[in-house]
């Protein structure tokens, strides 16, 4: 399977290159098309302006002819000064437009790039233009000198303007037509370019579909099929491995229950009384994987493996006195593996009855020791698993209790509380009572109802204080201390030493509140205390909660030995259980006659 995946790698690289090239081609075509389109749009805006100016040029030439005729007409009775002003303005605008059509507006940085044809047409019209300008300027000059000069002096210039107007308009029409024709040509070119880039984009997309997406989809599909087969195979191997693990676990448990028989002990070697080896058995050499470098002395060999010299000296003295020694030793063979040996050192005597050598009668307990270690680990895992399951069940039970408390609190506040408040309003509405004892009864009922409403609110607050979810643990503990002080003989004070104001998780805040509630209730029920102090402080890592009372205290060690704190239903057990649920550390200190202190440290991470 590995070879199959490796064979797919070059294909994926090739597809990646195709995909990159295709994306670059699409991006390039989009950029080029936008550049060209924007350029043509800009030119089209200029074309419309030029065509508009061309038409205006024709209109202005006609306006100039009209004004000249009016100024030369003897039958025309009008204000010659206004007509002269109109002529002067029209001529100036006509000259300006004529300049713009040929060279653009240099002051605005606009320059016309007329075609060769239009330039030629403007050269043809230039003579007519100059004649009309010269004649019009002469008329303006004469009338400015004397507005009342005879009309026949103006008529000569007017005839020149009129005679050149027809030729100018004819050639101007050709220029307008040429401008319009060139604009249409550019529009067609733009359409052709758009069609080209559209075809290019579609071609790139088709290339991606057939040479990138479809091959990559097929390759990915094959890869998923291979992974699915691998997953099925892995599940099968996991089941088999689980079965093998269970069998191995059972084998270790069975091996743990088997005792090594006495006849398994064999002679592993022989030593002098001082521990120097005389000989080794083949089994000992094989087990320890000795080669040429074998140990010289038994006690030095054991000391090399970590045993205390004083302990070994005691064994030597026992052997010298003719007493046998037996025990277990743990050593490391030449291959680096641990070996456990059950060793009997038995002194042997010579003909005079004096100890002269030591037999090392040993059995190999390595397999059994390893089985014991593995069995211990297995049992440890099982115990940890059971503890976690118990903690999970406890968390579910506590969460269920909290939900039930919330429900009861809502029912009391929204149901019973509202009905009692309505009853209180109804009673307060009664003002006219005839007899005196009835008035006293009414006042008594009102006071009693007021106390009942306060009690319902107190119980509802203790079940689930709304301040806890709205503002956090510090305000609710402050209010809790005040409420308990009001309704009991116990004085409860709260102190926030380090100004802690950070909000915690809802579960953490709720459990801290319940711990305080449980501790204060225990103080009320059992401690005979007059004062309880709740203190909160914090640092960068922990929130520290301390609840201290000045009650009679108790022998905590004695109660722990009796198992009073190991069952649910006991206050101390509940406090410890809630502290564990929020990963807190719970410490309880109490002495008879010296009160009780409960300290909780909760991590702030």
**Residue 319 reports pLDDT greater than 80:** yes
**pLDDT at residue 535, rounded to an integer:** 95
CB 442 within 8 A of CB 449: no
- Reported as a single tens digit per residue, the pLDDT across 197-226 is 777 767 777 676 676 667 666 776 777 677
**pLDDT at residue 5, rounded to an integer:** 42
**pLDDT at residue 252, rounded to an integer:** 52
Rounded CA-CA distance 95/46 in Å is 20
Highest-scoring range by mean pLDDT, 45-49, 256-260, 383-387, 535-539? 535-539
Highest-scoring range by mean pLDDT, 19-23, 301-305, 542-546? 542-546
Judge residue 130's burial from the number of C-beta atoms within 10 Å of its C-beta, 0-12 exposed, 13-18 middle, 19 or more buried. exposed
The Cβ of residue 601 has, within 10 Å, a number of other Cβ atoms equal to 18
* Alpha-helical runs (H) found in 257-365: 282-288, 298-304, 309-320
- Reported as a single tens digit per residue, the pLDDT across 540-599 is 889 999 999 998 888 877 777 665 554 444 678 778 888 888 889 999 998 888 899 999
Q: Among residues 218, 207, 228, which one has the least CA distance to residue 8?
A: 218
Rounded CA-CA distance 258/271 in Å is 31
Furthest-apart CA atoms within the chain: distance in Å: 179
Q: Where are the beta strands (DSSP E) in 429-580?
A: 491-496, 531-538, 542-549
- Reported as a single tens digit per residue, the pLDDT across 475-529 is 889 888 888 888 777 899 999 998 888 888 888 888 898 889 888 888 888 888 8
Please provide the average confidence, as pLDDT, over all residues in the chain.
75
346 DSSP β-pair partners: 359
Q: Which residues contact 425 (CB under 8 A, 6 or more apart)?
A: none
Q: What is the DSSP letter of 150?
A: -
Rounded CA-CA distance 66/84 in Å is 11
Rounded CA-CA distance 394/396 in Å is 5
What pTM was computed for the model? Answer: 0.35
């Amino acid at each position: 399977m590995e070879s199959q995946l490796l064979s797919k790698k070059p294909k994926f690289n090739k597809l990646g290159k195709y995909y990159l090239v295709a994306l670059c081609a699409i991006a390039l075509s989009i950029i080029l098309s936008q550049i060209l389109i924007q350029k043509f749009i800009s030119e089209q805006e200029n074309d419309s302006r030029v065509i508009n100016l061309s038409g205006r040029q024709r209109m202005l030439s006609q306006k100039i002819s009209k004004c000249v005729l009016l100024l030369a007409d003897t039958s025309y009775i009008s204000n010659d000064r206004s007509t002269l002003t109109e002529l002067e303005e029209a001529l100036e605008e006509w000259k300006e437009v004529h300049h713009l059509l040929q060279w653009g507006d240099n002051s605005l940085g606009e320059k016309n790039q007329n075609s060769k044809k239009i330039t030629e047409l403007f050269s043809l019209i230039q003579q007519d233009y100059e004649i009309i300008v010269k004649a019009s300027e002469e008329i303006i000059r004469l009338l400015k000198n004397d507005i009342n000069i005879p009309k026949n002096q103006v008529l000569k210039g007017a005839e020149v303007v009129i005679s050149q107007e027809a030729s100018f308009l004819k050639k101007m029409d050709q220029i307008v037509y040429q401008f319009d024709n060139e604009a249409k040509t550019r529009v067609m070119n733009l359409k052709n370019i758009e069609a080209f880039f559209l075809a290019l984009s579609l071609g790139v997309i088709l290339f991606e579909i057939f040479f990138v997406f479809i091959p990559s989809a097929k390759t990915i599909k094959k890869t998923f099929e291979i992974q699915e087969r691998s997953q099925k195979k892995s599940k099968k191997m996991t089941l088999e491995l689980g079965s093998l693990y269970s069998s191995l676990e059972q084998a270790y448990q069975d091996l743990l229950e088997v005792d090594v028989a006495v006849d398994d002990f064999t002679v592993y070697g022989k030593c002098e009384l001082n521990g120097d080896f005389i000989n080794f058995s083949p089994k000992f050499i094989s087990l320890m994987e000795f080669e040429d470098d074998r140990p010289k002395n038994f006690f030095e060999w054991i000391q090399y493996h970590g045993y205390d010299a004083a302990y070994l000296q005691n064994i030597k003295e026992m052997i010298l006195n003719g007493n046998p020694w037996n025990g277990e030793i743990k050593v490391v063979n030449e291959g680096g593996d641990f070996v456990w040996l059950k060793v009997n050192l038995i002194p042997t005597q010579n003909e005079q009855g004096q100890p002269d050598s030591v037999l090392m009668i040993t059995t190999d307990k390595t397999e059994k020791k390893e089985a014991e270690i593995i069995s211990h680990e297995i049992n440890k895992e099982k115990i940890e698993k059971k503890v976690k399951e118990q903690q999970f069940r406890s968390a579910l039970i506590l969460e269920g209790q909290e939900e039930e408390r919330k429900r009861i609190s809502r029912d009391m506040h929204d149901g019973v509380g509202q009905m009692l408040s309505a009853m209180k309003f109804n009673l307060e509405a009664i003002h006219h009572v005839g007899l005196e004892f009835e008035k006293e009864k009414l006042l008594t009922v009102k006071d009693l109802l007021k106390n009942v409403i306060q009690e319902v609110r107190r119980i509802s607050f203790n079940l689930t204080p709304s301040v806890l979810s709205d503002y956090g643990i510090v305000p609710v503990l402050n209010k809790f201390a005040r409420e308990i002080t009001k309704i009991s003989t116990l004085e409860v004070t709260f102190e926030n030493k380090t100004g802690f104001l950070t909000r915690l998780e809802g579960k953490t805040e709720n459990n801290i509140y319940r711990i305080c509630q449980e501790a204060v209730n225990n103080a009320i029920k059992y401690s005979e205390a007059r004062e309880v102090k709740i203190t909160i402080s914090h640092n960068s890592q922990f929130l520290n909660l301390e609840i201290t009372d000045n009650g009679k205290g108790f022998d905590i060690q004695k109660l722990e030995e009796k198992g009073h704190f190991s069952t649910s239903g006991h206050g101390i057990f509940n406090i410890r259980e809630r502290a564990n649920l929020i990963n807190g550390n719970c410490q309880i200190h109490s002495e008879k006659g010296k009160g009780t202190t409960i300290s909780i440290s909760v991590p702030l991470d």
